[in-house]
Amino acid sequence: MTKPLRERTRPLVVALSIAAAIALPGAAVAEEAQLDKMRAKVSAFIGNMMEKQGGSRIVYKVDAGALRDSVVTELRDDAYKNLRESRIAFSGLAIRDGSVEVKIADARSREQLVRKLASVAENLPTHALSVVDGGDGLTRLTPTDAALATGLHDLLEDSIAMIEQRLKDIGIKLASVQPDGPDRIRIFLPGVMEPERVTAVFAKKVRVSFRLIDISMPAEQAQQGTLPAAAEVLFGFKDKVPYLVAKDSALEGDDISYAGPGYASGTQDPIASFRFNGRGTRRFAHVTEENIGKPFAIVLDDKVISAPVIREPIIGGSGQISGNFTLEEANSVAMMLRAGSLPGHLALVEQQVIQPAAKP
C-alpha cells in the first residue's frame, strides 16, 4: 500500500494522478535492511541517553481490526465502482464476515470483475484476493492473510512516521520510535519524566475534515454577534484569521489514501500533497461539482489549514495545500493528514518512567 493561506481565495491546485509504484523485491529488501540499520543505531544512542538521564518508555498497539475493516470496505467500494462502470448486472453486494459478497448471474461478467479487482485494487497487491464461487452466481471476495500482513506493516510504518512528526511538533527532538513486533510501537524518550504529557497527544485521533465556508456574513461579524446555527468560527493554522465554517463535514479524512510533503511546480514552494481513495475521489468530485464558486476549508483539529475557492469540479482525486509553509510545516501538515486517515486508534499498552542509572 503505497502509499493559502495568505490569499483566502487561492484555488486548490489539483492534478490527476493515475500511477502504480512497483518496487523490485531486491530493492525493497535492501531498503528495509538500511532502515533496520539506521534504527539500530538510533536505538543504541537513545539507550545510552536513557541510562544516563532516565526518561519514559511508551508502547502503543495499532488497530489491526480497523485495518481489516478498512481494506474490506475499500474492496466493496472498488467492486461497486467496477460493476457500475462495466455495466454489469448484479445484486446483493454486501460485506459479510470479513468478505465481500456479490451475486452476478453471468459467468463472464463475474470473471471480468475479478480480473479488474485483482489488477487495480488500490490497497491490495495483485495476488491479494481469495475468490470463492458460492454457487448460483454468488462470488465471495476476501483479502488474503498475506495482503493483510502487508497492510499491517504499512500501517505500522505510517504510524511511526506520524508519531515522530507529532513529537517534533510538541518540542521533543530526541526520541526512539521503533516497531515492537508486527503491531506494536515502542517509544523511548530520554529526559522525559512525565509520559502523560506525550500520551495525551495521542489519546485523541486527529480529525481531518473538508467543510464549506459560510459566506452569509463575514467571520469577523459572526464573532461579534449571533452565528448561523449550522456554522462556527475557526482560525487559520498560521495566520490566525477567522473563518465562518460549516459544522457538518462534506468529506472526512478517512478517505485520504496518501499525504506527504513536496514542492509546488514552478515556484518550488513547500506544499502538502494528498490523494483520495476511490470512494473519496467520487465524493470530492460530487461536492466540488455542486459548489463551484464557493470557498471550502480543509480543517485539521479545528484549525483551518487552507481555504481555497472551488473553481471547477475536482475529479482527479489529488490535491496540493499551499500556505507560505516552511518545509517542516508542510511535513507537519502532511503527517497530520496521514494521522487522520490511519485506520482505528493507537491503543496505549504501557507507559513507564525509567530512572537514570545510579552513579558509582
Give, in order, the Cα–Cα distances in Å from 162 to each of 185, 261, 341.
12, 13, 11
Residues 129, 309: contact at Cβ < 8 Å?
no
Which amino acid is residue 5, in one-letter code? L
Give yes or no for residue 2 having a pLDDT over 50.
Answer: no
What CATH number is associated with residue 344?
Answer: 3.30.1360.200
Whether 88 and 234 map to the same domain: the answer is: no
Give the residue from 114, 143, 172 where a domain finishes. 143
Q: What's the angle, vertex CA 281, arms to CA 279 and CA 284, rounded to 5?
A: 110
Whether 99 and 164 map to the same domain: the answer is: no
Whether 93 and 224 map to the same domain: the answer is: no
Contacts of 51 (CB under 8 A, 6+ apart): 356, 357
Whether 73 and 57 map to the same domain: the answer is: no
Whether 340 and 201 map to the same domain: the answer is: yes
Q: What is the pLDDT of residues 259-288, one digit of tens each?
A: 888 898 888 889 998 888 888 888 889 998
Q: Is residue 32 in some structural domain?
A: no
Q: Give the count of beta carbons closer than 10 Å to the beta carbon of residue 342.
A: 22
Q: Is residue 267 in some structural domain?
A: yes
Give the residue from 143, 170, 200 where a domain finishes. 143
Q: What is the pLDDT of residues 29-46, one digit of tens each?
A: 676 777 778 878 888 888
Count of the separate structural domains present in the chain: 2
Average pLDDT (185-209) is 91
Question: Mapping DSSP to helix (H, G, I), strand (E, B) and coil, where does residue 317 land?
Answer: coil
Average pLDDT (62-72) is 92
Q: Is residue 76 in some structural domain?
A: yes
Backbone angles phi, psi at 184, to 5 degrees: -125, 155
Q: Give the count of beta carbons closer than 10 Å to the beta carbon of residue 343.
A: 20
Q: Is residue 148 in some structural domain?
A: no
Q: Is residue 201 in some structural domain?
A: yes
Give yes or no for residue 321 having a pLDDT over 90.
Answer: no
Whether 197 and 334 map to the same domain: the answer is: yes
Whether 214 and 277 map to the same domain: the answer is: yes
Which amino acid is residue 282, in one-letter code? R
Mean pLDDT score of the chain = 83
Contacts of 49 (CB under 8 A, 6+ apart): 55, 174, 190, 191
Q: Is residue 279 in some structural domain?
A: yes
Give the residue from 143, 166, 200 where a domain finishes. 143
Q: Is residue 40 in some structural domain?
A: no
Whether 332 and 184 map to the same domain: the answer is: yes
CA distance 321 to 262: 10
Find residue 306's DSSP bridge partners: 298
**357 secondary structure, DSSP code:** P
Whether 109 and 253 map to the same domain: the answer is: no
Whether 139 and 286 map to the same domain: the answer is: no
Average pLDDT (202-211) is 87
Whether 125 and 177 map to the same domain: the answer is: no
Range of the domain at 96: 65-143
CA distance 274 to 276: 7
Q: Is residue 214 in some structural domain?
A: yes
Whether 183 and 315 map to the same domain: the answer is: yes
Q: What is the pLDDT of residues 336-349, one digit of tens each?
A: 888 888 888 899 99
Find residue 186's DSSP bridge partners: 59, 178
**104 secondary structure, DSSP code:** -
What CATH number is associated with residue 105?
Answer: 3.30.70
Residue with more model confidence, 254 or 62: 62
